[in-house]
Structure 1
Amino acid sequence: MNHTLYLQFRNLFNFQRYAWLIVFLVSSNMLLSQKTFTHADSLRGSLRPARTSYDVWHYDLKVKVDPEKTYITGSNTIQFLVKEKTSQIQVDLFQNLAIDQILFENKALKYHRDGNAIFIDFPRVLSVKQKHQVQISYQGQPRKAVRPPWDGGFSWTKDPSGKPWITVSCEGLGASVWWPCKDHPGDEPESMDIRIEAPKGLMAVSNGNLISSTPTTFGTEYHWKVQYPINTYNVSINIADYAHWSEKMVQLNGKPLDLDFYVLKNNEEVAKKHFQQSQEMLRIFEKYFGPYPFPKDGYALVETDYWGMEHQSAVAYGNHYKNNAFGFDFIIVHESAHEWFGNSISCTDHADLWIHEALGTYAEAIYLEEKSGKEAAQLYLNGQKNNIRNRFPIIGPYGVNYQSPDSDMYFKGTWMFHTLRSIVADDKLWFSTIKDFCLSFYHKNTNAEEVLNFFEKKLKRNVKAIMSFYLNHAEIPTLVYQLREVNGGYNLRYKWKNVPGDIDLPIEIKHDQGLGERIHPTDTWQQIRLTEAPQWDFEHFLFQVEKQN
């Protein structure tokens, strides 16, 4: 590795790449680490009978957005399939939003609220395999975003011309901050209709394809349709005086893909030039991860007044048309990678959001390696490594409303995958495994156990235990060693300090000649003879060392 080049990029990379993310997470991690989970957290995060008894089939969401009053009025028709006999289901909606009525078979239903949870009572027991629907009408002033997208809600801002600019971000916070739904990552609708009524002179952009735009006395209702399963937090509202253009891209499989771009009119010229990198990125991701997961809905970038978010088929972009020191816009790359990792492959519990973020972040390095080579990708990974905190396990507690208190699911997660690649030392096998993972879990919800089993089976080695260590321990593997110079050479004694002996986690020792030697430490002392002092390979393996006398 070119050390001079690394130093040249390091400070710029760290500040430009993740400064706001680190500041926000560090400022909040003390509060989150001391949090005791409440009854409300359990209602939001757990799968109890009132949730497991039904499976959402379709949402038909209709929302009128009034920026002058910072007010929304709407309804959501929830079509669902009964999985277990029930006379009650749970739906979620923040308690500051008022419910006007809940209709079932054209009759108003009784319900009660428990904080942000709504328990709907049916007049009879619903039988298994039956399909039903309820319509929930509601209104109110939704929570205003504090620091979007991390502390989200509705953003009521103005564009440079003074016109209203309204956006929504709610990952972690939950989609129920602004619309009634089954707000749990384990249940996605098979499809969705989204109807947004915007004021006159403004365009409303959401997920999927625009089906129609209908004039109203208030302005225009824009009807969008999503033809695939979608995470509730990915459902988006973007209202502004947008400029719009479309492009066609021929995918690697020869099929056309619609690309759409929505930006503030003042930014149209710079955006058309800056967004040209999108097609190259999508082709690289297709090569490594398989076809774009939502071809019927197309791919879109939508300008927002916050940094970015992986809203499915309507990726939020707010990085002010800036490339990083490596020549690409990381928001475009990272958030678009989530179309594969997070949107197509989704976790079933918030504790496993690392499946979204670790692989979404690792995709940035894969993109850069294909575009600029291994050395550039290694520099990029080195910069990310400086942000690893080792304060909390990557995997959080299951069954509660959990949000990770630091950034390790991004950076430690991506270094876990980088380490696995180095352990495997077979790029053909490694990248075919990543691609097979994307294809095998296409449009599926999954969890850590399934992911670890998949990688172990495909790589044909005991990587499950290695991955489990990185995911479930706050600290990284620590190698303790003793070095003695004897007869012109070196005796190296070594062992793991904190890794159980049944985990085979090899590492490399580098030499001046550039050749490496792989060792397999355990939790008991081993010894090896070296002709020169060891140089630990910290660029391909995530571990640390402690020297003992």
Structure 2
Amino acid sequence: MQVTQLFKSVSAVAMTAILAGCSVKPLPLDPSVGDTGQPLSAVALKSDVQFYDLSLEVFPDDKRIKGVSKTQFKMLSASQFVELKLDSRFSITAITSDDKTLNYTRNAGVLNIDLGKQYPAGSTVSVAVAYEGNPHIAKNAPWDGGVVFAETESGEPWIATAVQGEGCDLFWLCKDHFADKADSMRIRLTVPNGLSAVTNGVLQSVKPVGANKQQFDWLLSVPASDYNIALNIGPYQRIERSYTSINGTEVPIEFWALAKHTQQASMLIEQDLRSQVAFFERFLGPYPWGNDKLGFVETPHLGMEHQTINAYGKKYKRDAGGYDWLLQHELAHEWFGNLMTHEKLNDAWLHEGFGSYMQPSYSLYKFGEAAYNHSMYKSYLGLKNCQAIVLDGDITSDQAFNPDIYGKGSWTLHTLRWLIGDELFWQATRELLYGVNDTKQLAYPISPRYRNTVEFIAIVNRLTAKDYSWLFDVYLKQAQLPELDVIQSANSLTLKWNKNSLQDKPFPMPVPVQINGSLQTYYVENGEISIALKAGDHVVIDPNMKVFRYLPIIDKCKTDQ
């Protein structure tokens, strides 16, 4: 039996069992589709995705989807094969190119498609795959992702996807790797009347399909990581506003909210979103996707940075910090994650460390130092310290997104900013994102870029004319935080960075010391800092917590991750 026939037979058996009312245990996620961003195969490396065209119908009552996913490839080297991924719980009904049926093999979630002839380097080929089935249901979106089938309070279908760790192949055909972004994408979603289908890009049209369905046709005109493509289906109302970007462009704002929450969503735009985007544009540069939209959609899960249509599920509750932190965090990812994308999973802290640091930075911008310090201290208390946040070799998304990439990443940036000053810190950040410092006049479209940790360190070193590799080596590449040994007598104070905590790495970190209310920064000489004291002097080490280090107010390794 051919492989294609085998999988059709398996799908038919499974469907028969379901229709017969048998108890069928849900399939676990296969590793080939359950972990996004894994190294590309030799076949996958021979082609570059230029365009995705996804036409999908969603059946809320059956928790089922059916569609055709078309991919246009450009061949990077001669090949007779292309590779796509799709969760093996879906059945494939046809694979074609120019209306010709193609042969393929399917190894769990990996489809190796035979084009029928060898295509030379530089040529293009389009492959269409028709498929259907019941997608993997998210266990705890967005952390344990998949498709969410929920209901509103009034019992209407409310559906969303969140697949950052697992990848796009949980519900559509894709390459499933952030390193190969399509140049653009068309997404047509058919849903029952009364529901709206919201996704990335710009809505082109809404048209009836038969007597009781309608199709929403969207076009995303900019490259996006395929895990960022999202389905959002519900009884939404579309709130439309706009703002003038720092580069002079009028950028559309869209918030798709449940009908009962339109007033709250409108207030969120006016009270929080406008101020937040002004902050990002002031310190970073223009919102990256001004030609499409600045979009949010209300979701039954907490949130996710889906490019141009960020998921928002915090129920419009304001925070102790005086603003909506989730709205700000997901908006931050339009820069840190979507404009600048990590080159490998090993560099995921560039997404989440910077994304998290934007909240205290915004608190400082909006409310002052007390709010900033409160936010940073709260982050410090949540550190785990059990795993380095930059690992070597091939890693999984679970390893990449360990909890400390948020807090440790944020604290690394906090100390770096203190060391090099605001001006150079924000310049280094702008160059990481845009490749240039003067970003205010950048016109759309703005090109996204891939970055890694080494490149960011190089930017910092070039701008400061100093080598700060030692800082990143200690903060990012080991689990243990640096410890400061303090030896105080009646007439002297000696400070030494503990060599064991540094794993014998160099760490010439200066230390602020306050003596009788007078603050001064002391620099390491010959491995220690020596300060003369007088009897009765009151000493406080680093009273404003500028230096990221271990303090006994947290665990050395908090294992309840």
Give the TM-score category using the shorter length: 0.7 to 0.9
Q: For residue 413 of structure 2, give the secondary structure of its aligned residue in structure 1.
A: helix
Check whether the contact 1:368–1:376 (CA below 8 A) recurs between aligned residues: yes
Cross-structure match for 1:8: none
Aligned with 1:370 (options 359, 362, 365)? 365
Check whether the contact 1:242–1:262 (CA below 8 A) recurs between aligned residues: yes
Greater RCO, CA 8 A, separation 6+ = 1
Residue 151 (structure 1) shift: 0.7
Q: Rate the CA distance shift 1:336–1:480 in 2: closer, same or farther, 3 A.
A: same
Check whether the contact 1:185–1:350 (CA below 8 A) recurs between aligned residues: no
Cross-structure match for 2:412: 416
Cross-structure match for 1:505: 509
Residue 197 (structure 1) shift: 0.7
Q: For residue 504 of structure 1, give the secondary structure of its aligned residue in structure 2.
A: coil
Cross-structure match for 2:532: 529
Which amino acid is 2:520 matched to?
Answer: G
Tell me, yes or no, if structure 1 residue 355 matches structure 2 residue 354: no
Tell which deviates more after alignment, 155-164 or 396-405: 396-405
Q: For residue 48 of structure 1, give the secondary structure of its aligned residue in structure 2.
A: coil
Q: Rate the CA distance shift 1:311–1:40 in 2: closer, same or farther, 3 A.
A: closer
Q: For residue 84 of structure 1, give the secondary structure of its aligned residue in structure 2.
A: coil
Q: Rate the CA distance shift 1:119–1:400 in 2: closer, same or farther, 3 A.
A: farther
Check whether the contact 2:178–2:226 (CA below 8 A) recurs between aligned residues: yes
Which amino acid is 1:87 matched to?
Answer: Q
Q: Rate the CA distance shift 1:229–1:530 in 2: closer, same or farther, 3 A.
A: farther
Residue 398 (structure 1) shift: 4.1
Tell me, yes or no, if structure 1 residue 74 matches structure 2 residue 38: no
Cross-structure match for 1:142: 135
Aligned with 2:226 (options 216, 226, 232)? 232
Q: Rate the CA distance shift 1:63–1:39 in 2: closer, same or farther, 3 A.
A: closer
Tell me, yes or no, if structure 1 residue 540 matches structure 2 residue 543: no
Cross-structure match for 1:467: 472
**Paired residues for 1:239-388 under 5 Å:** 239-276=233-270, 277-388=272-383
Q: For residue 515 of structure 1, give the secondary structure of its aligned residue in structure 2.
A: strand
Residue 44 (structure 1) shift: 5.9
Q: For residue 224 of structure 2, give the secondary structure of its aligned residue in structure 1.
A: coil
Check whether the contact 1:396–1:402 (CA below 8 A) recurs between aligned residues: no
Distance 1:200 1:166 in 2: 15
Tell me, yes or no, if structure 1 residue 188 matches structure 2 residue 184: no
Q: Rate the CA distance shift 1:244–1:93 in 2: closer, same or farther, 3 A.
A: same
Distance 1:358 1:493 in 2: 29
Aligned with 1:476 (options 465, 470, 481)? 481
Tell which deviates more after alignment, 63-72 or 117-126: 117-126
Q: For residue 148 of structure 1, give the secondary structure of its aligned residue in structure 2.
A: coil
Q: Rate the CA distance shift 1:384–1:270 in 2: closer, same or farther, 3 A.
A: same
Check whether the contact 1:77–1:133 (CA below 8 A) recurs between aligned residues: yes
Q: Rate the CA distance shift 1:226–1:515 in 2: closer, same or farther, 3 A.
A: same
Q: For residue 142 of structure 2, give the secondary structure of its aligned residue in structure 1.
A: coil
Distance 2:237 2:254 in 1: 11
Cross-structure match for 1:7: none
Q: Rate the CA distance shift 1:316–1:545 in 2: closer, same or farther, 3 A.
A: closer
Check whether the contact 1:389–1:406 (CA below 8 A) recurs between aligned residues: no
Distance 2:242 2:350 in 1: 30
Which amino acid is 2:448 matched to?
Answer: H
Residue 384 (structure 1) shift: 0.9
Q: For residue 397 of structure 2, give the secondary structure of its aligned residue in structure 1.
A: coil
Q: Rate the CA distance shift 1:490–1:357 in 2: closer, same or farther, 3 A.
A: same
Which amino acid is 1:214 matched to?
Answer: K
Check whether the contact 1:78–1:135 (CA below 8 A) recurs between aligned residues: yes
Which amino acid is 1:247 matched to?
Answer: R
Deviations 1:309-331 (A, max 9, x none): 11111011000101111110111
Distance 1:436 1:445 in 2: 12
Aligned with 2:157 (options 158, 164, 168)? 164
Q: Rate the CA distance shift 1:330–1:73 in 2: closer, same or farther, 3 A.
A: same
Q: Rate the CA distance shift 1:141–1:397 in 2: closer, same or farther, 3 A.
A: farther
Residue 349 (structure 1) shift: 2.0
Cross-structure match for 1:518: 522
Which amino acid is 2:176 matched to?
Answer: D
Distance 1:307 1:231 in 2: 20
Distance 1:333 1:77 in 2: 34
Cross-structure match for 1:29: none
Tell which deviates more after alignment, 402-411 or 133-142: 402-411
Residue 354 (structure 1) shift: 1.2
Which amino acid is 1:436 matched to?
Answer: E
Check whether the contact 1:46–1:400 (CA below 8 A) recurs between aligned residues: no
Q: For residue 482 of structure 1, give the secondary structure of its aligned residue in structure 2.
A: strand
Residue 291 (structure 1) shift: 0.3
Q: Rate the CA distance shift 1:108–1:468 in 2: closer, same or farther, 3 A.
A: farther
Distance 1:41 1:214 in 2: 35
Residue 501 (structure 1) shift: 5.1
Cross-structure match for 2:457: 452
Q: Rate the CA distance shift 1:448–1:141 in 2: closer, same or farther, 3 A.
A: same
Q: Rate the CA distance shift 1:47–1:399 in 2: closer, same or farther, 3 A.
A: farther
Q: Rate the CA distance shift 1:397–1:196 in 2: closer, same or farther, 3 A.
A: farther
Q: Normalising by the residue count of structure 1, what TM-score does the alignment of the two structures yield?
A: 0.88
Distance 2:101 2:294 in 1: 39
Distance 2:167 2:390 in 1: 19
Distance 2:275 2:112 in 1: 48
Count of aligned pairs between the two proteins: 505
Which amino acid is 1:299 matched to?
Answer: L
Residue 493 (structure 1) shift: 4.5
Deviations 1:203-224 (A, max 9, x none): 1000110001111025111011
Distance 1:220 1:289 in 2: 40
Check whether the contact 1:42–1:400 (CA below 8 A) recurs between aligned residues: no
Distance 1:178 1:375 in 2: 45
Distance 2:373 2:57 in 1: 48
Percent identity for Structure 1 against Structure 2: 27
Deviations 1:484-510 (A, max 9, x none): 22xxx2241523323345443333223
Residue 41 (structure 1) shift: 7.7
Residue 511 (structure 1) shift: 2.7
Check whether the contact 1:193–1:223 (CA below 8 A) recurs between aligned residues: yes
Residue 437 (structure 1) shift: 2.2
**Aligned-pair RMSD on alpha carbons?**
2.1
Residue 350 (structure 1) shift: 2.1
Residue 481 (structure 1) shift: 3.2
Residue 545 (structure 1) shift: 6.0
Q: For residue 428 of structure 1, give the secondary structure of its aligned residue in structure 2.
A: helix
Q: Rate the CA distance shift 1:400–1:86 in 2: closer, same or farther, 3 A.
A: farther
Q: Rate the CA distance shift 1:527–1:512 in 2: closer, same or farther, 3 A.
A: closer
Check whether the contact 1:509–1:519 (CA below 8 A) recurs between aligned residues: no
Q: Rate the CA distance shift 1:444–1:493 in 2: closer, same or farther, 3 A.
A: closer
Check whether the contact 1:495–1:526 (CA below 8 A) recurs between aligned residues: no
Residue 445 (structure 1) shift: 1.7
Deviations 1:351-376 (A, max 9, x none): 22211111111111121111111221
Q: Rate the CA distance shift 1:144–1:545 in 2: closer, same or farther, 3 A.
A: closer
Distance 1:477 1:176 in 2: 41
Residue 144 (structure 1) shift: 0.6
Q: Rate the CA distance shift 1:345–1:323 in 2: closer, same or farther, 3 A.
A: same
